[in-house]
Structure 1
Amino acid sequence: MLEKKQHSYEKAVLVGVVTQNQDADKLQEYMDELEFLAHTAGATIDRRFTQNLTQPDPKTFVGSGKAQEIKEYVKENEIGTIIFDDELSPSQLKNLEKEIEVKILDRTNLILDIFAQRAQTSYARTQVELAQYQYLLPRLSKMWSHLDKQKGGIGMRGPGETEIETDRRIIRDRISLLKDKLKIIDKQMATQRNNRGKVVRAALVGYTNVGKSTLMNAISKSDVFAENKLFATLDTTVRKVVIGNLPFLLTDTVGFIRKLPTQLVESFKSTLDEVREADLLIHVVDISHESFEDHIESVNQILMEINAHQKPMIMIFNKIDDFSYEKKDEDDLTPSSSKNVSLEEWKRTWMAKSKHPAVFISALTKENFPEMKRLVYDEVMKIHISRFPYNDFLFEYFDNDEDEASEKED
């Protein structure tokens, strides 16, 4: 089920709706993100279909006329996949497959497919497989044949049990097995976290594709996989980092995303535990993305859901080298290119005045890294002092001009 697929980019179309809770501008943002997700999964987008509705149609998500329009288009243009921006109910999925007769995916299914491709370790694969089965269970239809080899032996099948009921039982058994397996691994990982002693733990959090892994590599001089695609890394990576004479542990976690499937939140419990048990959160933001404010809100919402929102936090606004958008009027800080924005100008924006300490950097070019390292050092030191109040030999590190110069050379 979780075998890596060799993608030869398949043609797909996207479908979304404007509703009373989602205006046209918001839908455009979601559709852009959905297209990026589709590209990451191995699809090329041929066209987008949108419709204005008070709320999604309970039978086919879009209206019957729009469904017919999509059906005719995919047939004429040999489209093999239709991707919907929201999660489809089991009945909507069944009706659409029957009506249009091509592969139907929703946003949740697409994200699960990407996770399945990206999972590298046994633990990550187990987490993704559990999420996939939890998603599939209520969506079994007569099109489904067998998920696995049917359990053999006389007496294993109940009287009158149908094939689909057998498949449901196989899935439920598999889910139970995977949950038990994850419980064992969770205990092992909890033991590992406890064995890390009293060293300060910092966790990189943020929206997917904001540069967390690139920043991890730059700070820790490690080789965590980084790529300009969504969910480039799924497995939690922990590295020991030393800034000045101050050691601490830095964790790179899976990126968050809007409309994150609930199945993944549950399956990736241990990954989120790394965030929950961290002493300091380093929230990385892609300042070059036009929806970065929504990304901040989405991350904060998930942090609140896992009860990690009150932890000490640093805001790192990344990709200042890639920042650009059109100037709106003379009084706004809206330059036409990144060359017109100095660090001093960034520091006068609202981002620098948030309740959390903030810094503006480029993880790719290492611009403003000395200031970023100093901020991380100061925040880790506050936590360190609370645990080791007599360990004051580190206090003057960043007041030393020679050390600061060496930081700039690095």
Structure 2
Amino acid sequence: MSVSTEPTSPPDRAERDDRPAGPGLRAVLHGRAFGSSLTVLAFLVVFAVYSVWLGDRFVDLGARLLNIHQNVPVLLIGLAAMVTLVAGKFDLSVSSTASLTAFLAVGLRTEQGMPFWLVLVSCLAVGLLVGLVNGFLVEYLSINAFIATLGTGGVVLGLSSVYSGGGALIPARGDFDLPAWFGDMGSFTNRPPTVVVVVVGLLAGAATVHGLAAVRPRRVPAGAWHAFRGAAGVLVAALVVWGLLAAGSSATSGGLSWLIVLLVGVALVMWLLLELTTFGRGLKATGSNAEAARLAGIRTRRHVVGAFVIGGVLSALAGVTLAATQGTVAPDIAGAFLLPAFAAAFLSTVVFSSGPFTVWGTIAGGVFVVWVGQGLITGGLPATWTDVVNGAVLLVAVALSTVVRMARR
């Protein structure tokens, strides 16, 4: 199934930027900076309301970091969904792949006694294989991506039930225990050293500088905007480092965890791949207009298959992290993650963006969805409403993406 959420072509943007700016308010409303920040501002308003309504029960950095830590598997699945959406395809097998590899991460060690390094390699290989099968079905057999990945997701989920005998996998103490470092990685109380926190802060500042480059208002001189970007990057980096260190030093809350560091590292690699490589540019061109990309000499089939493979590997990694946080695995353990993962991916088209799917937008959108739901639960809403909130956010994200895309034509 094709997904059309890419912005208009560069020539169209150039023509639009050459038009008279018009009245000041109208120019602001139609500017890239406003369109890229509207959704962020909306979420900030929601969080401000939560802060007034819930007070310290919501304004607790340690608690909010714990929410991110617990949802690292969801965010990784969101990245897996995002990379295939960039190619113009859906992958509905991402959560099923995560469920299977969660079982394998625990079972291959505790039940079959495999060396844990081989367990990890096997899990990632399973994700790679699922991605190859999806890519082959979609590109070489011309099966609709929605149908193909729905089918492979069912097969993969069935295999996880076959492997586990249809029940939960609860490892018992024995000769083949899970490594201690694996459980420590999934623990929120096991924190990385300060130097890692500083690196994360610097990455946040660099991402801010890069993101602001694409939204310079037409009436602001380039030199002044460069100075503003630099100052904003320094400020964000300082705030991130200070906040994480302050949260980590508190006796009642946690700071940065190894799983969050892993998420940031994966996101950085994905961003470099999509933004700074020939493969990434070809993938975007394929998702925007496959026929035009093919005529331009891009091997679109290879790019689409590559996107499915990357999505499969990321889904497998999500399953491994899920096993680390849970310790035990239940049937279809990642099934509930599909909706929030796609909500995060589609929110990336309106968070720090005006149409295209982005890596950092997916992370930010996923975190915003988690915090919105957590705020409502803290305020007394039953946890059973979580899927309702995620579904509503997904609908709003798709609607906003469509409106922004149409407004910029």
TM class, shorter-length: under 0.3
Q: Which has the higher strand share?
A: 1
Q: Which has the higher helix share?
A: 2
Q: TM-score, normalised by structure 1?
A: 0.23
